[in-house]
Structures are given as C-alpha cells and as structure tokens.
C-alpha cells in the first residue's frame, strides 16, 4: 500500500459543508490530516469527533492563494478570522428535493397539466424529475417540461428520456418562462419564449413547479460562483475537480457510480499529495546533473528553470520551481543521470504487480487485493520502475493509467506508452514470460472489469 | 557531443554468453545526455540481463575518458568476469587500457558527433576533419552534412533542397547557398575551393594533439 510522508501536510484541509457526507468525510480524514469543518449552522456537527476542528460561520468572505497555501477569511456573527489551508473540499447541500415535490403534487390529487421549469440541475436530479414525470403521467397528469438542457449523462439516460417522450411528456428546450397570470383563475397563464428562434408560446396550465439548481440550492453554489470556481471539470477521469487546483466540490449528483466510501477514499488520496504543502516533492541534485535539459523539455508545467550558480563547471544548474511544480514526477522518471530526487524516497517495488496513476486508479485499487504502488502521474512510471516491480526473474506487470487526453499533466499516458512499447520489445528478446500490460481507465471503472480487460486468466493475482 | 545508441540486446547477450558475473558500466558524460549510456540505462540493462539469468550489476563513472575517473572503480572491476560498457568508444578503450586484466566489451555503438535538433532527434553535424571551413560556408559543414563531402557543391543530384541519397537529408550545399545569400556573402562561392588535404582527418592516420603549454612538469 502506498505510504506517504504525511509530515508534509501543514497546513491542513478545509471541509465546508453541512451534509452528513461532509461530516463523515471530515471524521474519516481527521485522523490522517489536520481537518477543519465549517458550516453555517450548528447542524454542521453530526456527532463528536476528536481531532476535528468545527467552526460555525456564516460566510467565506475571501479566498486567495494556490494549492498548498490558500488563505481564507471566514466570518461568523461575532468575528472574522483568517485561516490557511492546503486544500479545500466543498460539499453542497443535498439536491432539490425532487421526490418530495412530486409527493406533494400527488397528494394534492388534482390531475391536470403541470409545467415543470428546470434550470441548472445536475444529472441525478434531472433523472429524478423524469422519473417523477413518468409517475405523474401514469396518474393522469399532463407533464410539460421546459428545461435549459436535457441531461442524459447517467446510465440509461437516453432510454429514460425516450420513455418520457413516449409516455407523452412534452419537452421544451432552451426556453424562458414568464408567468403572465397567477392569481384569480384556477389555471396559470405562462409565456414560453424560445431565445434563439424568437417565438413565444402561451400556455394555460394547472400547476407550475420550478427546479432551479442555482437558486433553490444553498449558499454554496453562490459561493463558488462568486469565487469563480467552476465544476465539474473532466469528471470522468478526475471526479470533484474544479478549475482551481486544490479545491474540490463533492456534488454526489454527478457521481452515481461511486459509493460513499469510494468518494472518501478518493479524496483522501487527492489531498494527500505532497503539493498540499506548497513544496515540490522533487528536487535536482546539481552534482549529478549532466545538464541534458531533458527535465526542462519534458515538464508539462514549465517548472524547471536554469539557475545561475557557482560551484560547477557550467555556472548554472537546473532547478525545480515549487510554485509551478505540480509534482507529476515526469522529470524524475526521465532524468538519465538520476539527478532528480524524490523527497518521499524510493519505493520498494518487490512483489508489486500493479503500477498505477493515483488519479484514475486510487479508489479502485484500495478495494482490491493485489499489491500495487501509486504514482502521481502515469508519466512518472519509468522503465526502471517496471523492471524493479518485475523482479530479477521477470514476470508480468500491469499498469493502470488515465486515458490519453484526460491526463491532468497533459501527456503522461503518451510518454508511458512509448516506454511500455520499448520495454516490451526488449523483453521479447529474453526468455519468455515477461511483459507489461498498460490499461487506460477512468476513475469510475470497476476493478473486475479491468482485470477482464487485461485478458489475463491468471486469477491468482486478481481480487 | 558524441552520440551513440545501444547495441541490439540479442547481440549483447551473445557477447556475454560465456560469462555470468557481469558489470554494466555507464558514463555521466555525452551518453547520458543522449539518454543511451547514463545511470538509468546502465541499471536498465543490468536488470534485463538479470532476467536473462545473469548475475549483473551496474555502476557509472562521471566520464569514462579520464584515468582519474577510472581509478575509484579499480577494485570493483576485480569482482567481475567481464564488463559491458555503454560509454562511447573512447571510454570503452580507456577501460581496456586501464584495466587490462578484465575485458570491457562494447554495449554501445558510437555513431557520430552531433546534437539534438529536437528532443530525441539527434543529427550528425561534425566529422572531426581537422580543418574547419565553416567560415567559408556560412556555418554549414560540407564534410559532415554533404553526403559526398564536396568542397564545391552542389552536385547534380540535389533536388528541391534534398540530397539524392534520401529525401530526409537536406542538401548541405543548398543550405549553404541559402545561408550565404541571407548574409550577403555569395561572393564566397565564386572562389572555388582547392582539393582538400584530408591528412588532417582520419585519412591521415590516428591523430594526436599535444598542447605544449599544458604539459605538467616531469611529463
């Protein structure tokens, strides 16, 4: 199992949220990290956990900085305080209570036409709306859905959408709703405007329900919007990520396939990265550096810079800038002179069968029984790692990497693939039995599916 | 710098067929820069040989072409039956000369003097001909880059700026012409160069250079 040097983890982790999931996550991570849980009401603390600092506060007034050193000013009724955090995880409040809204509708028991206005909802809530609409149709309501976007990004999404249409649900897409008359009569007059094509339609309906992800929801959406934080980004390979490195938003509506424990495990791995400290995990020993410029050219983040120094014949040395370094470790994997060093130390790869990128494979492997080692990026998996894992008698090694094009360090899988091709060719010259299989996955794949993909009938190493 | 690449693995294995305890010796100089013979490659080769059943180990020297850098590994060399060096031909020979009791075999084919025109792509630029004429050719070498070593090119095989040997090779004299034109020195081409004296190059026999001003007392 991966063991990292957690002494790098000052400052700590901010978890902002009032849901049970937020609390359980904070409680689990509090043992390993220095966690502060913040919410706007006393409801934030669903229990008592030692090692967990809980703050009741109204507002996050300001947020600055970068991963490893975010400065947050948090305000409550009485005071305003400044804190520093390495990473931030936000848990928005639970969804739109779609089910209870439909429940109320059914209890009123006045079948008629219902216009459902849908704006800014996540796929899970949209699915609930469609299911509610189907049930309403079965009970004799006529459902009309006016949505900014029809969401089908969940399992069987297209099927459900078709089913709703087949059942007679009417859909308007990309329209605006204006209520013309809501008062006296038993019906409501509504104008539906198509923004692009410039037409307006008037409807007379029995009831109007509105689901607005932005407005109905909690402070958090507003908060994130104010701070310029966008999500979800690249959700297939990197769940919970936002456009700001080090800030995560856990909106379970987007992640039907992950269990709660998988979510917590994944977050644990993500905030355990050493750049939480603002320091770079890697550094260059200038005594060994041949100034071949490989690290300089390969770094996807332009974090390697030549620095003038005295004391060597070149008058300069290559240096890794901690501000720019994202700790992917590609420089480490490619330095021909072993001049790039890892502060975490070299792993022992004896008996390790699976080498994996932690971004795609972390939570997956936690529940498996194989022995594995995680890397910050698949680009950090070198031929030497592969050979060390293979051992002196050779054997099979499996590598799990993000899909090409999904790597958060741009081209890790591409560089790894070239190395795998080279090493397999060389292994082909030796006595048979040694090879490397590289499998690309996304964070939501299941372990058994991967093993089947590898085509390896050797279950003795599987889970 | 010196550019080389590893010998094919089957050839290396054949070379050491009779031996079991082997040292793979890398070099921190040019071959590290061209990613063929540095520490990482030395360890890689030794691991591959282990998988093949050999008792293989690895080391590197800062460079293999200085006696003083070889002194520290003197004792180590006695522990092996044979050494495979992945330094350039100079280092391999230095090893054999310094440690005659043990064979140092070549794990590397030294190719040329060149540079990475882009990362991973190395091109020949110099053939150490001993009499540099780059001032007459706008900085482009007619010995290393012209397939026929012409002193007054181009030949009739030059087409669209490419050499008749291969479309991947630029015609050096085309490049020379364009360059001299750009710097306004085309008049240099009006001066035909006489037949070259190749005795300064390898054709004159193995070469030696003595710097009287550097000799230490007593040597």
Q: Report ipTM (2 d.p.).
A: 0.86
The pairing of beta strand A282-284 with beta strand A340-342: antiparallel
**Is 90 exceeded by the pLDDT of residue B74?**
yes
Higher pLDDT, A163 or A280: A163
**Is 60 exceeded by the pLDDT of residue A2?**
no
pLDDT number for residue A227? 76
**Is 80 exceeded by the pLDDT of residue B62?**
yes
Q: How confident is the model at residue A324 (pLDDT cuts 50, 70, 90)?
A: confident
Among B9, B32, B50, the residue with its CB nearest the CB of A337 is B32
Q: Which residue of A has its CA nearest to B8?
A: A426
Task: Express each pLDDT in B152-185 by its tens digit.
Answer: 989 999 999 999 999 999 999 999 999 999 999 9
With beta carbons under 8 A apart, name residues in chain B contacting A288: 28, 39
Across the interface, whether the CB atoms of A336 and B38 are under 8 A apart is answered: yes
- pTM assigned to the model: 0.64
Residue whose C-alpha is closest to residue A71's, from A61, A58, A56, A79: A61
Across the interface, whether the CB atoms of B32 and A338 are under 8 A apart is answered: no
Q: How many CB atoms lie within 10 A of CB A370?
A: 15
Q: How many CB atoms lie within 10 A of CB A186?
A: 7
The predicted model gives A318-327 an average pLDDT of: 83
Across the interface, whether the CB atoms of B33 and A292 are under 8 A apart is answered: yes
Instruction: Judge whether B44 is closer than 8 Å to chain A, CB to CB.
Output: yes
Q: How confident is the model at residue A443 (pLDDT cuts 50, 70, 90)?
A: low
With beta carbons under 8 A apart, name residues in chain A contacting B28: 288, 290, 337
pLDDT number for residue A254? 59
Across the interface, whether the CB atoms of B51 and A388 are under 8 A apart is answered: no
With beta carbons under 8 A apart, name residues in chain B contacting A394: 51
Task: Express each pLDDT in B81-132 by its tens digit.
Answer: 999 999 999 999 999 999 999 999 999 999 999 999 999 999 999 999 999 9
Higher pLDDT, A130 or A186: A130
The predicted model gives B35-42 an average pLDDT of: 94
Distance CA B67, CA A91 (A): 65
Provide CB contacts within 8 A for A169, sequence distance 6+: A130, A133, A134, A137, A143, A144, A145
Q: How confident is the model at residue B218 (pLDDT cuts 50, 70, 90)?
A: low
pLDDT number for residue A457? 39
pLDDT number for residue A29? 87
The predicted model gives A260-288 an average pLDDT of: 74
Distance of residue B191 Cα from the nearest chain A Cα, in angstroms: 40
Distance CA A74, CA A219 (A): 14
Task: State the average pLDDT for chain A.
Answer: 80
pLDDT number for residue A332? 95
Contact B47, A426 (CB under 8 A): no
Q: How confident is the model at residue A182 (pLDDT cuts 50, 70, 90)?
A: low
Of A183-192, A307-316, A412-421, where does the model show the most confidence? A412-421
Is B119 exposed, middle or buried, given 0-12, 13-18 or 19+ CB atoms closer than 10 A?
middle
Q: Which residue, chain included where needed, has tokens 């693995």?
A: B9
Distance CA A383, CA A334 (A): 9
**Is 80 exceeded by the pLDDT of residue B19?**
yes
Q: How confident is the model at residue B73 (pLDDT cuts 50, 70, 90)?
A: very high
Q: How confident is the model at residue A452 (pLDDT cuts 50, 70, 90)?
A: low
Among A298, A336, A384, the residue with its CB nearest the CB of B32 is A336
Rounded to the nearest 5°, which phi and psi values hold at B156? Answer: -70, -10
Task: State the average pLDDT for chain B.
Answer: 94
Residue whose C-alpha is closest to residue B38's, from A462, A288, A394: A288
CB interface of B with A, residues 166-195, below 8 Å? none
pLDDT number for residue A458? 41
Q: How confident is the model at residue A289 (pLDDT cuts 50, 70, 90)?
A: confident
Across the interface, whether the CB atoms of A336 and B41 are under 8 A apart is answered: yes
Among A297, A336, A430, the residue with its CB nearest the CB of B39 is A336
**Is 50 exceeded by the pLDDT of residue A406?**
yes
Task: Express each pLDDT in A146-170 by its tens digit.
Answer: 988 887 777 788 899 999 999 999 9
**Is 50 exceeded by the pLDDT of residue A7?**
no
Helix (H) or strand (E) holding A165: helix A157-166
Higher pLDDT, B5 or A97: B5
Interface of A with B (CB under 8 A): 288, 290-294, 297-298, 335-338, 382-384, 387-388, 390, 392-394, 426-427, 429-431, 434
Rounded to the nearest 5°, which phi and psi values hold at B108? Answer: -130, 145
Higher pLDDT, A109 or A372: A372
Residue whose C-alpha is closest to residue A343's, from A1, A5, A3: A5
One-character DSSP codes across A214-246: TTTS-HHHHHHHHTT-----STTTSTTB-SSTT
Among B35, B38, B52, the residue with its CB nearest the CB of A430 is B52
Distance of residue A83 Cα from the nearest chain B Cα, in angstroms: 44
User: Mutual orientation of helices A412-427 and A383-390 as an angle, nearest 10°?
Assistant: 50
Asked whether the CA dihedral B181, B182, B188, B193 is positive or negative, the reply is: negative
Q: How confident is the model at residue A219 (pLDDT cuts 50, 70, 90)?
A: low
Q: How confident is the model at residue B146 (pLDDT cuts 50, 70, 90)?
A: very high
Across the interface, whether the CB atoms of B40 and A337 are under 8 A apart is answered: yes
**Is 50 exceeded by the pLDDT of residue A370?**
yes
How long a stretch of residues is chain A?
A: 463
Pick the residue of A304, A337, A341 with the most B CBs within 10 A to test the interface with B by mutation. A337
């Amino acid at each position: 199992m991966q063991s990292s040097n957690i002494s790098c983890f000052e400052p700590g982790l901010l978890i902002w949220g009032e849901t049970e999931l937020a609390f359980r996550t904070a409680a689990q991570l509090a043992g390993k990290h220095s966690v502060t849980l913040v919410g706007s009401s006393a409801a934030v603390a669903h229990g008592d956990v030692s090692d967990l600092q809980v703050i009741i506060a109204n507002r996050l007034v300001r947020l600055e900085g970068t991963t490893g050193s975010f400065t947050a000013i948090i305000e409550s009724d009485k005071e305003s305080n400044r804190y520093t955090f390495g990473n931030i995880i936000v848990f928005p409040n639970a969804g739109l209570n779609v089910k209870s809204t439909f429940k109320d509708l059914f209890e009123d028991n006045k079948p008629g036409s219902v216009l459902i206005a849908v704006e800014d909802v996540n796929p899970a809530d949209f699915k609930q709306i469609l299911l509610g609409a189907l049930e309403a149709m079965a009970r004799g309501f006529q459902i009309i859905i006016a949505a900014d976007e029809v969401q089908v990004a969940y399992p069987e999404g297209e099927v459900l959408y078709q089913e709703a249409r087949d059942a007679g649900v009417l859909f308007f897409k990309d329209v605006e709703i204006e209520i013309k008359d809501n008062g006296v009569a038993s019906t409501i007059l509504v104008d539906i405007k198509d923004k692009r094509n410039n037409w307006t339609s008037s409807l007379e309906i029995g009831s109007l329900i509105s689901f607005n992800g932005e407005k109905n929801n909690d402070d958090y959406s507003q908060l994130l919007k104010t701070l310029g934080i966008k999500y979800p980004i690249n959700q297939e390979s990197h769940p919970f990520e936002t456009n700001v490195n080090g800030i995560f938003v856990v909106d379970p509506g987007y992640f039907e396939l992950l269990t709660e424990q998988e979510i917590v495990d994944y977050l644990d791995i993500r905030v355990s990265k050493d750049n939480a400290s603002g320091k770079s995990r890697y550094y260059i020993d200038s005594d060994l550096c041949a100034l071949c410029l490989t690290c300089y050219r390969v770094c996807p983040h332009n974090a390697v810079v030549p620095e003038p120094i005295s004391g060597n014949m070149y008058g300069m040395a290559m240096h890794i800038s901690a501000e720019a370094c994202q700790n992917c470790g590609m420089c480490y994997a490619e330095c021909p002179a072993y001049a790039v060093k890892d502060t975490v130390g070299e792993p022992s790869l004896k008996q390790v069968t699976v080498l994996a990128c932690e971004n795609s494979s972390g939570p997956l492997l936690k529940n498996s029984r194989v022995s594995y080692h995680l890397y910050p990026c698949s680009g950090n998996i070198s031929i030497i790692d592969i050979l060390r894992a293979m051992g002196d008698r050779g054997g099979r090694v499996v590598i799990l990497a993000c899909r090409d094009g999904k790597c958060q360090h741009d081209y890790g899988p591409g560089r790894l693939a070239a190395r795998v091709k080279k090493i397999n060719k060389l292994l082909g010259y030796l006595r048979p039995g040694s090879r490397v299989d590289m499998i690309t996955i996304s964070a939501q794949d299941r372990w058994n599916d991967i093993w089947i993909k590898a085509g390896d009938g050797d279950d003795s190493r599987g889970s | 710098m010196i550019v080389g690449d590893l010998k094919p693995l089957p050839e290396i294995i054949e070379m050491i067929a009779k031996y079991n305890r082997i040292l793979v010796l890398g070099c921190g100089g040019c071959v590290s820069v061209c990613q063929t013979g540095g520490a990482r490659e030395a360890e890689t080769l030794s691991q591959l040989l282990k998988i093949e059943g050999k008792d293989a180990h690895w080391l590197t020297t800062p460079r293999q072409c200085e006696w003083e850098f070889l002194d520290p590994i003197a004792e180590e060399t006695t522990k092996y039956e044979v050494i495979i060096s992945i330094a350039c031909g100079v280092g391999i020979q230095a090893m054999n000369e310094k440690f005659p009791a043990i064979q140092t075999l070549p794990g590397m084919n030294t190719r040329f003097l060149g540079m990475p025109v882009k990362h991973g792509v190395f091109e020949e630029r110099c053939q150490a001909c001993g009499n540099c004429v780059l001032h007459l050719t706008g900085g482009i070498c007619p010995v290393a880059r012209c397939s026929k070593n012409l002193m007054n090119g181009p030949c009739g095989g030059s087409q669209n700026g490419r050499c008749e040997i291969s479309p991947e090779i630029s015609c050096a004299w085309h490049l020379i012409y364009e360059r001299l034109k750009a710097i306004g020195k085309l008049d240099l081409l009006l001066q035909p160069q006489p037949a070259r004296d190749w005795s300064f190059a390898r054709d004159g026999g193995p070469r030696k250079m003595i710097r009287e001003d550097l000799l230490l007392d007593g040597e």
